[in-house]
Amino acid sequence: MSSAKRAPHEKMQFQLTLRRRGISDQAVLRAMEEVPRENFVEEGFREDAYLDVPLPIACGQTISQPFVVAYMTEQLQLRNVHRVLEIGTGSGYQAAVLSRLVREVVTLERFRSLAKRAQARLTRLGYGNVEVLVGDGFSVPDEAGHFDRIMVTAAMESIPDDLVRLLEPEGVLIAPVGPQTGSQTLVRLRKTPDGVERTDLIGVRFVPALAGIAREM
């Protein structure tokens, strides 16, 4: 069956799965519906684009399963005035979802080839409020400024203080924290006048966040 004929049924099931798993923010559900996930997966996996599973992409990375994308997005409690930093661009899918909900998205990717492909894809699909930068998520350049929200889409053994400092007052950061192999805990930090509040959310499994710009052959 062609992708065009499959899409309506698949997208309906896609939305039902997210709702059944507890995603209730209507703006997040609408953003998940609007972003064409099939355009962000590798060609050989497009038949599986709307399954609730992670899928492999280039450079040994993955595109997260839709529930995790929606859950992390919902937990950020986004508003359309927000400026958001994403660490780990990958295919650009998460950045595209964020872009439907906020004013601006800056996303960092340590693999130059992934960053180049993601920027081209996002531009082609009309996500004009996303800027893709090649960079180190452990050392975000000062010129990037500060952010209302930060999302990390790779596993960190601990969240660097330098990343937390980039948050505006009342800003929120969400990241998978734990060992680079095995499972991690999704952690949400909120910067308050009294300090940083931490909330542990759900168990997840992400590829590791590595320091530096990747050397690619």
Catalytic residue check, 113: no
Q: The tokens of 109 are what?
A: 């990717």
CB-based contacts of 12, cutoff 8 Å, min separation 6: none
**Looking at this protein, which amino acid is placed at residue 135?**
G
Q: How far apart are CA 56 and CA 73, in angstroms?
A: 21
Closest CA to 114 of 102, 131, 132: 132
User: Could you tell me if 171 and 150 are in contact, meaning their C-beta atoms sit under 8 angstroms apart?
Assistant: yes
**Catalytic residue (one of 2, 3, 24, 64):** 64
φ/ψ (deg, to 5) at 100? -75, -10
Beta-strand pair 167-177/147-152? parallel
Report, as residue numbers or ranges, the catalytic residues. 64
